[in-house]
Amino acid sequence: MAVIIQKYGGTSVGSPEKIKFVAGKVAKRYREGNDIAVVVSAMSGETDKLIRLAKELSSSPAPREMDVLVSTGEQVTIALLTMALKDLGVPARSLLAFQIGIKTDDAYMKARIQEIDVDLLKKTFAAKEVAVVAGFQGITEDGDITTLGRGGSDTSAVALAAVLGAELCEIYTDVDGVYTCDPNICNKARRLDKITYDEMLEMASLGAKVLQTRSVEFAKKYNVPILVKSTFSDEGGTLTTKEDSDMEKEVVSGITYDKNEAKITILGVQDKPGVAAKLFSPLSDNNINVDMIIQNVSSDGKQADLSFTVTKTDYDKAMKIVKAMISDLGARDVVGDPSIAKISIVGVGMRSHAGVASKMFSALSSVGINIQMISTSEIKVSCVIDEKFIELGVRVLHEAFELDKTGSAVA
């Protein structure tokens, strides 16, 4: 007998038929004699619908009230799934976050889980009932409802797996795993059987949106392997887990891209202490996340050009802030380019293989793609390129690193 944590995303519970199907899957595992906690998201499109409703009433709805609102989507699905389970003769109980003490901080709309009181869950298991838990939501010390950020049900599931000591957290969704690149762009994309937490973190934050990034951080911290599988197929699946020596053999595991990037360049900023601080503080004060930053060396020791990227969503706001600071920074001008994108290669094997970056640059140049900015980490190389070349870039890199074959090419 094992403790099993399953999470079903919005598309898996998007209609009564699908909920029945999910109930059938849960029932099967229950009848094998397992203790089961099922975490569910809202029906697909419901959370968006609630957010749209709020925006119709207020241009800046209070975050606390937003959480009261958007958390309702999950209340609907836990009730419906529990009914479906009972109809199959499976004892089950729907549970909201407050009922199992999913305590969070009070950062509404992006709250962090602090603790979970597992006693109630254990009582549910002892009564031989399936626990059907509302994902995405939590409760503050003072009893206010919070939510964990978009896609937060993944994190709810991983947190439950961690506190219950489950060997695995199963995440069921509408894709059958994590791919070497976006299959919509490159028909040679291959499903990965296994990927490390660090690679998945890079892939998730770089744009491959299978799991909420925070859920992977949580999984890594508590060493909970995550299996991403399709709800509607028994085949496939990708296991995100800790690194083993096997995994270093692959130099590059995947290629990701992010079109939601824009570039801002400040020409002729003064080359002296405090300038970068002066520039980036107002951006962060306005909640604008800066991704890549490049400052060139000034040829005369007095002035340098500085480029950085923000999301396309923040571009107009960022341009306004920076333009207002030109004279303060002693700069000559500001130019922006919202039509850029970021393409990245990710792989833990990079740590032990040389020549990976140069291979990437050669591959991009072989098809005439100009690299505007570069950044690297231990297991990732990212390039900013013109967004119109993203598809071509993904395909040429997939080819260069032979990602269609297992055991990618050593540079």
Question: Rule CB under 6 A: which residues touch ligand ASP?
Answer: 10, 41-42, 47, 73, 135-136, 150-154
Dihedral of the alpha carbons of 331, 336, 341, 346, in degrees to the nearest 10: 10
Residue 154 Cβ vs Mg ion, minimum distance, rounded to whole Å:
6
- Closer to ligand ASP by Cβ: residue 25 or 150: 150
Name the β-bridge partners of 375: 382
Contact segment (CB under 5 A) with Mg ion among 4-12, 292-300, 338-346, 352-360 equals: 4-12
- Closer to ligand ASP by Cβ: residue 112 or 150: 150
The beta-carbon contacts of 59-64 under 8 Å, at least 24 apart in sequence, are 63/108, 63/109, 64/108, 64/144
347 touches, from Mg ion, ligand ASP, none (C-beta below 5 to 8 Å by class) = none
- Closer to Mg ion by Cβ: residue 224 or 345: 224
135 touches, from ligand ASP, Mg ion, none (C-beta below 5 to 8 Å by class) = ligand ASP
47 touches, from ligand ASP, Mg ion, none (C-beta below 5 to 8 Å by class) = ligand ASP
- Closer to Mg ion by Cβ: residue 46 or 305: 46
Tell which residue, 182, 192, 188, 299, has the closest CA to residue 238.
192
Residue 100 Cβ vs Mg ion, minimum distance, rounded to whole Å:
21
- Closer to ligand ASP by Cβ: residue 149 or 330: 149
Residue 7 Cβ vs ligand ASP, minimum distance, rounded to whole Å:
8
Site for Mg ion in 142-201 (CB under 5 A): 151
150 touches, from Mg ion, ligand ASP, none (C-beta below 5 to 8 Å by class) = ligand ASP
> Distance between CA 5 and CA 121 in Å, rounded?
12
Residue 46 Cβ vs ligand ASP, minimum distance, rounded to whole Å:
7
Q: What DSSP assignment string belongs to 152-171?
A: THHHHHHHHHHHHT-S-EEE
- Closer to ligand ASP by Cβ: residue 158 or 340: 158
Tell which residue, 71, 60, 62, has the closest CA to residue 104.
71
Tell which residue, 166, 212, 226, has the closest CA to residue 5.
166
> Distance between CA 337 and CA 342 in Å, rounded?
13
Site for Mg ion in 369-398 (CB under 5 A): none
User: String of b and e for 222-253 (b: at least 16 CB within 10 Å)?
Assistant: eebbbbbbbbeeeeebbbbbeeeeebbebbbb
349 touches, from ligand ASP, Mg ion, none (C-beta below 5 to 8 Å by class) = none
- Closer to ligand ASP by Cβ: residue 129 or 154: 154
Pairing of strands 373-377, 35-40: unpaired
CA 103 distance to own-chain centroid:
22
Residue 155 Cβ vs Mg ion, minimum distance, rounded to whole Å:
10
Helix and strand counts by DSSP (H, E) for the chain: 13, 18
Residues in contact with Mg ion by CB under 5 A are: 9, 151
